[in-house]
Amino acid sequence: KALIELDKILTGKKPDCLVVVGDVNSTLAGALAAAKLCIPVAHVESGLRSFDMTMPEEINRVLTDRLSQVLFTPSEYAGVNLTHEGISPEKICLVGDVMVDSLFFNLARTANSDILKRISLTPKEYALVTIHRPVNVDERGNLQTIIRILASVSRKIRPVLPLHPRTMANIVKYGLQTELTMSGAHVIEPAGYIDFITLEKNARFIMTDSGGVQLESSVLNIPCLTMRETTERPETVSDGTSTLVSLDEARIKAEVDRILTGSYKTSRITANWDGKASSRIVKILSERFTAPN
């Protein structure tokens, strides 16, 4: 249905180029619809790879990049991935990350957020936790492991858990509500963007399985324990504050101790993560697709 509707829009509008962003299903749908009509596709956040084809997002990334004529990459790592896949260097444009643009643009607005007051939090006296990936929350055993990890962390610092609907549904499905309550985690409703980045920047550390949160934590220089085996954002590990810990309880305990004793690594911002990626994208698009006078 999405393809049919997009086909109608693109046929009517006849754009010089279609810009698609990220790795969700609508990203791939847009790229497919444009490609079938021979409309050039420009992909923002191109070249990200987790190398895990069990992730729906990875399938969307790979296929969208194959369909694109302009590939806007957020980092040098992403460009290397595309080159290894045989993408012509002329198509690859290192511009930086638009998520960083959004973060920088909105940081000042966090001054108006009262989320810490509303849920009785003190800056740097809590750990922010987000969990939503199917591999972590769709299996009872993994979900129980995460709750045990929360219980372990709560002995040292308060875990704050904005509960994703998928995670909540599986906690109910597997009858783990009591275990979650007993873990000591402070469960809250999912937060809006401004409230969430307020929670991020004031956390002592973050635990997550989100690629975007890995990026934001590195930009904000907040320690981040990433509960995944792989990441599509390796620069957050090599240059940022992220550490891949999977669901290894002993490893997580050790890393939490490092954070709380002040011996954890700090971030070195990746080149072009300066809040100007969008400006670079607009400039390149105008140069490539604006008809000469």
For residues 159 and 152, give the distance between their C-alpha atoms in angstroms, rounded to a whole number: 10
Neighbours of 14 (CB within 10 A): 8
Place of tokens 């962390």: 153
Residue with tokens 């969430």: 196
Active site residue 132: yes
d(CA 236, CA 23): 18
**Tokens 């999405």, residue located:** 2
Query: In whole angstroms, how far apart are CA 181 and each of 130, 133, 154, 213?
Result: 16, 21, 12, 25
Closest listed residue to residue 251, CA positions, set 163, 179, 153, 184: 153
Q: How many C-beta neighbours within 10 Å does residue 16 have?
A: 11
Annotated catalytic residue within 43, 84, 132, 164 = 132
Give the residue numbers marked as catalytic: 132
